[in-house]
Structure 1
Amino acid sequence: MSEQALFPTLAVVLAAGQGTRMRSSLPKVMHPVGNRPLLGHVLATVERAGVERLAVVIGPDSPVLADYVQQLAPHAQCFVQRQRLGTAHALLAARPALQAHTEGCVLVLFGDTPLLSEQTLARLRQTLVDGAAVAVAGFTTEQPGPYGRLLVEEGRLRAIREAKDASPQELAINLCNGGVMGFRADQCLWLLERIGNSNAQGEFYLTDAVMLANDAGLSVVVVEVAEEEILGVNDREQLHAAEQVFQRRCRQQAMRAGVTLAAADTVFFSADTELATDVSIEPCVVFGPGVSVAGGARIAAFSRLEYTHVENEPA
């Protein structure tokens, strides 16, 4: 049995954001990439990663989210953040789940990051298994701009510095905060309850746990991931960017699995598209939800398919 199997994990997905920049009555995390809601991608990643326990934090005005979570992950607990007072406050909305999970680790994810992989969750878990109290997903970028900078000394993360508070030297750092974090379960609540809101916004920031952990002599480390993995969706432009990454991944995966794409950039997939080997796809094809294609089948140009299975026609 692996170390991770002996180190049970609770994933808490924060999905209470209003998403006002989407300019939509639909909750932000219900906007689709690959015909699957953003939140659905995150929940699927949690399942593939083999996470044993799941909690989702939603807003007070989002019954559609609670219904969706119940449908997709009936074992998950849903909690309501009635006031939006920051990321640490959102995580504490799931206090009953945190109190019940006293061993192993806690992964804190966001419902608007559809490109996160199960491999990254496994790496965060392993870092905690190896002795870190806090693990932070970070990424290197040539355009750090507004991102919080990760200040690392001798392999340890000492602080997360918001761009507006950073010195010129710190602004030159291109290792940035990806938001996703992991905690040892026996330290998580202890740290969360010590986070204050003495800042201009009067909010409780989860990133303050890094400083508190360091002050307590606990180990805090960075797990570096690809920038696209932690791409958060806050507006329609970022939704479009996430869709492009998702489609590129699907095309690459299909071709590596033995599917021929005559004009790959003109083929569009859904998150649940299933293609067997030796499928041949002509240009300008759209796979809607619920499509599977048998081995050897050919999909003609300018086809759009939904909720169907395509068999190979005999010669």
Structure 2
Amino acid sequence: MKRLRVHAGWAVVLTIFVALAGCLSRPAQEPPAPVPSPAPKAPQPVPEYAPLTGREIGKPIPRRPLAVVIENAPDARPQSGLFAADFVYEMLAEGGIPRFLAVFHSGMPDEIGPVRSARPYFIEVARAFGAVLVHAGGSDEANAILAGGDPPHLDGLAAEGTYFWRSSDRKPPHNLYTSAEKLEAYMAARGIPQTGQPPRFSFAPGGPASLSSDVRPAGRVHITYWGSSPVTYTYAEDRGTYVRATAGKPDVDRKTQAPIQLSNLVIVRVPHAVVDDAGHLKIDLADVREAWWVAKGEAVPVEARWEGNGPYRLFLGSQEVPLVPGTTWVAVLPLRGCDVNFAP
């Protein structure tokens, strides 16, 4: 009987212990609250850069470039619209007087001129930029090329009084002008597509010294033409651009008085030949014998290649030279004459 009581007592103690253990055990933990995922970030806009200048722009420019032949005789100065061109090719015409082929894409001025006649090498450059050529007549050879329709062209002599006008303060042939708005209307009237992209160039801010040790100071560049006034490009370090002057007088826009400035100057020497009694020239753009790239107060010899349909691309060895962002002028010179001098 006593043993039964002991067993019963232990049973009671064990029951109480189990009960107390259950009371003292920790409650089950609740699952952790979920950590909220961060809200997805809105995609950052990808910067868009103008294909011919490397400058940042708000959105792509769908319009086709315009390449305008602009006179550079003394009676044509100052010109209109050159300050807004992305690229300018300066090439000789008869008598050793150069003319400009101004390529407009990212900027379209409201006065352009004086517009003058085309030559085959102007046509070649316009085609290289995928541009519509704007001119006022042309040599017989140029007119024969344009009759084939490549590149499309707008002739000011055929649209005088509608899409082109004569300025009363100058005498013909130095007074034919147009505007971007009128040229776009002229293209629409002729059914010429207004959309298209020029070739895209590479750009970097470094300049010649960042790519080569074979540089020379070029704070001033002086070019003497056969039958025209000497031209000087002076580097303005505070602006990072060259300012152009003709015969010692700063070149400015006729309408806005904006100075003619450029970030890159390319100088090429190619064969020139007189082909008739009128003094018309044949210029072999692809046969480059010497080339210089000038930017940021420095000049460096480069290889200029006119590959396929062009336009010129610059190389140091196998590496293509990235231009400094901004406008580019190309001086196309003969093998002899038209002296070039670099100065600090």
TM, length-normalised to structure 2: 0.31
TM, length-normalised to structure 1: 0.34
Larger radius of gyration: 2
